[in-house]
Each structure stands twice: as structure tokens, then as C-alpha cells.
Chain A
Amino acid sequence: MENIEYTAKDYKIGQPRWCPGCGDHAFLASLHKAMAELGVPPHEIAVISGIGCSSRLPYYMNTYGMHTIHGRAAAIATGVKIANQNLTIWQISGDGDGLAIGGNHFIHAVRRNIDLNMVLLNNKIYGLTKGQYSPTSERGFVSKSSPYGTIEDPFHPAELCFGARGRFFARCVAVDASGCVEVLTSAAKYKGASVVEVLQNCIIFNNGTYDLVATAQGRTKNAIYLEHGKPMLFGENKEFGLMQEGFGLKVVKLGENGITEKDILVHDAHCEDNTLQLKLASMEGPDFPIALGVIRSVEAPTYNESVYSQIEDVKGKKHYSNFNELLLTNDTWEVK
């Protein structure tokens, strides 16, 4: 194999046409960087998206790509991966594409643990159709299709992922380049369905929805970067931490009530039991920090590998390996 060092530019093509200030721009730049860091040749990558603002993304990737139909990205990506598992697949969906019209494909791709990098760009709004609430919009959210506020509760992507027995879940903020690159490279390296929720602002129809974590300073205060094996500390001087209390979590300040770093929970992304990981993923401001980074990453057999290992297994057991031999496995008679 050729030993080529790739740069972000090698994965770039076209001129994005998202609104100025849209979180998609920042995310796209991070994805280019992550790909360069991973070093997979562009022709061995396929980027598959559905419909929505963010689903335009494949047009800006100098890789193989398909901009498909509304909601079906995960299903189409599944077919691509099974037909050629040497390809690295990035599946790009928004909250409507991935969790509303495509909700069924999302949960089943996750359940099967097929090796896809499933990026969910969550801006809690329908942008392309100009401002309707989405399945991640909070109850009461006022939009063009909910002028008096929505009367339904939102999905939390992490809950859905865990409910579908997801083995990998990570979260980043679109404008946080290093956080995105870190999470995207981890997702790509993980073998299986890796769900990445990207918190992303829609400057036109839902501006300010992630204000708490929109700036580096905000993230220091209102977010916690989780790292496997590291204590769960956050704050400007890492003065806050997380501890377990009863069935829940609580935020504590180091030094108060005799609490030291030893009392702080240490993150275990590889823990099979997802109870605490779900609690972390479910934390909301302002009382709790929003969890960022790789929240869960548990090894499990992938669907695509199982497809081929089963084929190999059966090949070893059956005595026919081509069409003519198949014909002769039937009851036949001869007309002379």
C-alpha cells in the first residue's frame, strides 16, 4: 500500500451553500480534518446522507458519496457497507432525517451494530423546509407548524441509541473543532455503529439553542469533556466534579465538605452496563454540565463482519460452490 499523508484539502471539494454562520460549515471543516488525521484514502470512503440542510454534505467531500432520499440514509449506507466492507462509511443525517422520517432505520442500524459512522447533526429544527419543530424540539417550542407551542416531548438521541442497544455514543459541539475531531476520529476507529450527536446551531430558525456551550468559555463552565479512565472534572480550574448519589448523579465542588479528587467518578466508556453512561448523556444545563466526548464505546461483533464470517462458515460445510453444483442438489430425473 502507498504511504500517502493526506491533508484536509484532499477531502475537500465544492463550495458549501449553507447559510453564513450555520453550524454545518464548522462541522464540515472538522470532518475534513478528522479524515486527514485518519488517513483513509478518499476513494475508500463513501459519504451517504439523507435529505435536509446537513444532508447536502456529501457534495463537499472529495470522496464517493450519495445524497439520497429523506430518512433512508442509514438503510442505504447499510447496503453500501455490506456490499463492500472495505469502504469507510460516513452516514450524515439531521434530527428530522435521522430521528423522524428515518427513525426506524436509525434504531435498526444501531441494533445491528453495522460498522457505520452515524453522524446526527442536531439543531432541533427543520431548516430546509424553513422552520418547523423537529422530534428533538423541546415541549412548548414555538415554530411555524407549532405557533402555540408543541404539545409533544422530544427524543433524546442518546436514549434512543441506548434503547436500541447502541454500543457507541459520542457528542460534540459543531463549533468546537478539537472536540469534533476527537470524537469523529474515535467514531471512525470504533468497529460498529458509532452514533455521534453534533450539537449545532441554526442561525436562521433556531438561533441560540445551544448558547450554553457555544463558546469555549461556555463549554468550560457548562460542559464536561469525558475521557475514558479520567475523573469527571469540569469548570475553569477543574474545580467541579461528578459523584454518584443514590440512583443519580450530583455536581460537587472539590474541597467542599471534604471532597477530594478521589471521590469523583472515573469515566468508563467501555462498561457494558450503560446505566451510568445514560445518566451522563442525559445531563442538562444549567444544573448539570452537558456531557461531551465519547460517552459509550463497547466492543461487539459487527453486522457486516458477521455476514461474511457466516458465509465462510457455511462455505466450509456445504458441498456446492457454483450454480451448476447448486442445481444438482435438487431431486432430479433423467429423460433419455
Chain B
Amino acid sequence: MSENTKIKTLDQVVVRFSGDSGDGMQLAGNIFSTISATVGNGISTFPDYPADIRAPQGTLTGVSGFQVHIGTNKVLTPGDKCDVLVAMNPAALKTQYKFCTPSTVIIIDSDSFKENDLKKALFTTLDPFEELGIKNEAVSAPIAEICKEALKDSGLDFKSIIRCKNMFALGLVCWLFDRKLSLAEDMIRMKFAKKQEIADANIKVLNAGYDYGHNTHASTTTRYRIESTGIKEKGLYMDIDGNKATSYGFIAAAEKAGLKLYLGSYPITPATDVLHELSKHKSLGVVTVQAEDEIAGCASAVGAAFAGALAVTSTSGPGVCLKSEAMNLAVMTELPLVVLNVQRGGPSTGMPTKSEQTDLLQALYGRNGESPMPVIAAASPTDCFDAAFSAAKIALEHMTPVVLLTDGFIANGSAAWKLPDISKYPSIKPPYVTSDMEGKWTPFKRNEETGVRYWALPGTKGFMHRIGGLEKSNETGVISTEPENHDLMTRLRQAKVDKIANSIPLQEVEGDPDADLLVVGWGGTYGHLSDAVGQMNKNGKKVALAHFKYINPLPKNTETLLRKYKRIVVAEQNLGQLAAYLRIKIEGIHFYQFNQVKGQPFVTSELVSAFTKIMEE
């Protein structure tokens, strides 16, 4: 290593890989985050895909980004701004520069910054740095040329050679952050297990990138090291994204309940990976049906629930619109069903690849009739596992459809996850009919304490019955339009959901126990809100965070808890849906609001300044 390159130890660092959507930036970012996690760093990732399937090469709309935040300790967000930006072409530089600070190191492929490339990205001069007013330290490497040189004897065609460019960038970043290449090499070998020559080529270029940094000390003055002295619990860890964690939660719940897992689904961004993931695990008996439409995905799941499966349907907002009628059938028939909504930008088709929290009121109220449905929201990629497990448990034990809300940000983002010990998770015991009930049982006989009806599975002798979407008599289970009965049944269905509050944990608060300001959040914004509150606490500000996972019903202590604080701000990625809901549920509290609907994650620094402003009012 060069004498004049010093190694600086940092607590955390953010690297943003960006390039054309065909440049393999997601893979480079993924490998970098995984090898960092492997050496014990905390990680959080955020893939930022373009909306176009494959925009014209080199254009501004085709830029794909992958941000990795690594830290000594636990990392909660992918970070606001980056310390290193890899920009594989001018379009990436132009669109991603906004994520830089004055001290960000920018790595570019000089072979992709020729006149023609600059034109595609709508630059008007030949100096993009000058044109954008960028004064940052830059590493400009002729990546394409080096790839060609390194692979000239590989026998690969030009296209395959150029595809290895991302590994050069990865190698260079590995050098910059003092990462061992052997871990990256292992991952590349696994990724291209069936294509030996491709794996070899990628590894060669990876090393070329590392050596380039080493030999030229990459024109930078500093290398960094992120210590991994983390306070992490001992045990086995893996890197997991939210959609995979959600899928795993369902698999674990089905195993706990001793039921078949049935997924009825229709592909939709950003939920499709749940269908992909669950479809892999046939050896666990998981049944996935790619239905003809969203409606059939949900309707077939209702059928599977009737027949005795743990039934799940997965989708995103527009799909929920279509499923609503079948969801209501599950409300009326009181069958267990989990409806997963991986939220995205709306309304209508909206912004499929972008994330927001705008479907909360749809989940709570978006159906005809009085239609109470429990709503659970996952807080982070790894929390998706617990949230999915919990949603399934509530559905099965309380005989109700449950909405599980995640969002594109946590669904695609990943973090290090300690492998759960499933034997320590609670059991799941659906309220099956017992043989002593034969002859006395009717479909809407309820457990007096929980208000839950008993489940008689088709195939069971002596419990033949008919249920359906029409209102039924509480006593006999036959069709009824009696006014008093309908009023009663409406209240019984509501009470059953309300009583779930007895089975969920009390709401906790983190941060300063004597806070002047309570930040209230829900769902996928946990990382940013927790970071913001933590930073403010460090600076002596009396702030706390109540982050809600159970939204319907709310935890039993919600009202008492909220009334303790002088000021409360509800921060969410919509125009105030949780705030509106809390106003319905709890009268007489003034809720400040912090709302952003940009399709992008919150920025911690913006949260800090907004909360500080409220405190100073």
C-alpha cells in the first residue's frame, strides 16, 4: 500500500452504486453489503430501480442505484447521503449527484464519459463536473479498457467482457474500504456456479479493480476501515430483504400451526418476490398459485382457508383494490386470511418501483359495509418476518382476515438478520371444532372470551355447514335479514377484532423517557425515525419515538401513553393517514404532522430539523 494513503477508521459509511440499469449495479451493491455483513458490520441496503423495464442505454430515466450503509454497530437506514458514489455513466452522475456531500468521493468510468455518452445524458458541454459544479474528489478509471485488456485471452465476446465492468467498480470499492476479496470471489463463484468462464472473468476484473486502487492509490488520499466491534448478539446471521423475510414468516407460521401454506397471487411490483420466494419451497409443501388475476388470487385463498389452509394473498395497492370484495367475504364468513400489501406509490398505477405509506386508510376502511380487519405494519426488512408470523397467528387464532402492510422500501431493502430460533416463537392454535360440539354446533357459535367462532373443516364428519357473503343469523347460521340480528352481528364482528388488543404487546416508547416531543410513526419508516430521535437525544433534545406495528386494534395502552406527552408529531409518508386515524380513535389530542409523499425514504437530517422546529414552536 502506498505510503501517502492513510487509513481512516469510520463508524459508518454509505456507498451508492449507480449506472445504467444493465450495468449490474444491484449485484455489485449486493455483494459489497453481504461481505461487509459477513465480517460483522451492520448493514442496510436500498435498491433504487428505474421505472422503465429497460430505458434506452445511457439515458437519465435508465439509471439504477443501489445504496449500502455499513456501520460498526447496528445500522437502521440506508443513509441519507453517500460517502462514495460510483457513477458508471454521465446519466448516473447527473441523477445521483444529489446524494453526494462535498466530501463524497466519486468513482466514474472514464470510458463511458465520451461525447456521445454525455449527449445521451443531456449534457451540453464536454465537462460534466464543471457543468454540474461538482468539486468533489473523483476517481476516473478507464474501466471498459481495463476490462478488455484483462479479458483479452478469456475467449469471451465483447458484450460479455463489458458486462464485467460492475466487478471492477466493486473491486475498487473493496480496496477503498479494505475488504478482503476472497469473500466476494466466493459469492461470484456461487452466483455463476453453472458458468465457470463467466465466474472466472468476473473475478479477474474484480481483482483488476482492487489492484487499480492499490497501484494508483486511486488518486484518493484516504482509505477507510469500518471496524466490526459491533454489539451484536452472538449467533448465525444472514442478509435478508423484507420480501424474503415476509415469505419466511409465513412458512414458519404454517409449520407452527401444522397447516399447509397456500399463496394465491398475481405478479405485481414490488410484491412479486414473495410469489417467487414461496414458489421455490415446494419441498416444504408450500402451494403457490399464480392466479388469472388479483381477484382470483384472493378468492382462491378464501377457498383454501375454508378448506383448512393457512391462506395468504400477496399484492400491492392496486391489487388490494381488486381483492377488496373477496377480503370482505373473508370478513363475513370469518375465515383466516392474510392479505399482504407491499405498498408503492399511488393512486392508480402510480409509481410501481417507489415506496410510500399511502394505503393505510384503504387497509382500515377500504371496503363496503362495516368491515373490521386487523392491520399490522412491519417496521424494517427483518421485522417483516415477525410481522408476517404475527399476522398469520392472529388470522388463524381469531378467525379473521388480516392486512399486513409492508412497503417497497423495506421489501427490497435488506439488513443483517439473526436466524430466529423458531422453537421460541409462540404456538399457533386455531379454534377447531371438537367432537363434543357435534349436534350443538352452528357456524357462528363463539368463544365467549374472544368472540371467535369455531372452525369446522370440510371433510369433518358431522359438521356440514354452509357459509357465505350474505348476513347470517347469530343463532342458526342461516340467512337472515332481521334488523336486530344484523345489528348484533355487525357489533360481534367488530368486538372480535377489538378483543385482539388482549393478545398483542403493549406499545413501547424508545428515546428520552421524559420527552417533550413524542414522535409517532408506523411501518417502514422505523429506521429513519429511530435514527432521527437517537441523534436528537445525543444532542440533548428530549424526544421519544412510539413506532406502531399494531394499528388495528391499537395496543391497549395507546391512549394513556399518548396523553402523557405535551407535543406529538405523527410522521408518515402520506398526507396524514395515521394522524387521521388516531384522531378518530382518541379525542382531544393535537397531533402535529410531518408528511412526505416523494416515493423516497425519509431523510434523517430533514426529520431532525422538522422535529426540532416543532419543539421550538
Q: Which residues of A contact B (CB under 8 A)?
A: 14, 41-44, 46, 48, 51, 58-59, 61-69, 72, 75-84, 86-87, 104-105, 107-108, 307, 310-311, 314-315, 317-318, 320-324, 326-328, 330-336
Contacts and interface: CB of A to CB of B under 8 A. Distances in A.
Contacts of A333: 37-40, 236-238
Interface stretch (B13-21, B95-103, B462-470, B582-590): B462-470
Contacts of A87: 307, 458-459
Contacts of B458: 43-44, 46, 64, 80, 84, 87
Nearest to B463: A43
Contacts of B232: 335
Contacts of B233: 335
Interface string B305-337: 111110100000000000001101100010000
Contacts of A331: 34, 38, 187, 190, 238-239
B60 interface: no
26 contacts: A43-B460, A46-B306, A58-B466, A65-B467, A67-B468, A72-B299, A72-B326, A75-B291, A79-B262, A82-B287, A82-B304, A83-B260, A83-B311, A84-B307, A84-B458, A314-B282, A317-B283, A320-B283, A323-B422, A331-B34, A331-B238, A334-B234, A334-B235, A334-B236, A335-B40, A335-B235
A71 to B, nearest CB: 8
Most B CB contacts (10 A, CB to CB) among A46, A81, A108, A328 go to A46
B296 interface: yes
Interface stretch (B171-179, B199-207, B248-256): B248-256
B307 A318 contact: no
A58 B234 CA distance: 57
Contacts of A76: 299-300, 302-303, 306, 326
B291 A335 contact: no
10 smallest beta-carbon distances between A and B, as pairs: A79-B303, A67-B468, A79-B300, A83-B307, A318-B283, A75-B299, A75-B296, A64-B458, A76-B303, A79-B304
Contacts of A72: 295-296, 299, 325-326, 329
Contact of B470 (A41, A67, A83): A67
Contacts of A46: 306-307, 458
Contact of A108 (B239, B296, B420, B461): B296
A305 to B, nearest CB: 13
A84 B456 CA distance: 14
A202 to B, nearest CB: 21
Given A72-B299, A323-B248, 20 more contacts: A44-B458, A44-B459, A59-B478, A64-B458, A64-B466, A68-B469, A76-B300, A76-B303, A76-B326, A80-B306, A83-B260, A83-B262, A83-B304, A84-B458, A328-B419, A332-B237, A333-B37, A333-B236, A334-B234, A334-B235
Interface in B224-242: 230, 232-240
Q: Is the interface of B mostly helix, strand, loop or mixed?
A: mixed
Nearest to B187: A331
B615 to A, nearest CB: 38
Contacts of A326: 248, 251, 281, 284
Contacts of B309: 79, 83
Residues of B in contact with A, size category: 35 or more
Contacts of B234: 334-336
Contacts of A105: 292, 295-296, 299
Most B CB contacts (10 A, CB to CB) among A75, A79, A318 go to A79
A87 B282 CA distance: 22
Contacts of A310: 282
Contacts of B457: 84
B251 to A, nearest CB: 6
A314 B282 CA distance: 6
Nearest to A86: B459
Contacts of B465: 64-65
Interface of B: 34, 37-40, 187, 190, 230, 232-240, 248, 251-252, 255, 260, 262, 264, 281-285, 287, 289, 291-293, 295-296, 299-309, 311, 325-326, 328-329, 333, 419-420, 422, 457-470, 478-479
A158 to B, nearest CB: 21
Given A79-B300, A82-B304, A330-B238, A69 B462 contact: no
Contacts of B326: 69, 72, 76
A51 B459 CA distance: 24
A318 B283 CA distance: 6
Nearest to B262: A83
Contacts of A327: 238, 248, 419-420
Contacts of B304: 79-80, 82-83
Most A CB contacts (10 A, CB to CB) among B236, B287, B307, B462 go to B307
B262 A82 contact: yes
Nearest to B335: A66
Contacts of B469: 51, 67-69
Contact of B283 (A58, A86, A321, A335): A321
A175 B385 CA distance: 56
Contact of A68 (B264, B289, B299): B299
Given A105-B296, A333-B37, A323 B238 contact: no
A79 B311 contact: yes
A318 B282 CA distance: 9
Nearest to B283: A318
Contacts of A48: 303
A75 B284 contact: no
Contacts of B419: 327-328, 332
Contacts of B282: 310-311, 314-315, 318
Contacts of A69: 299, 325-326, 328-329, 469
Contacts of B285: 311, 315
Contacts of A322: 255, 284
A327 B418 CA distance: 10
B341 to A, nearest CB: 19
B301 A79 contact: yes
Contacts of A80: 303-304, 306-307, 458
B292 A79 contact: no
Most B CB contacts (10 A, CB to CB) among A48, A76, A78, A334 go to A76
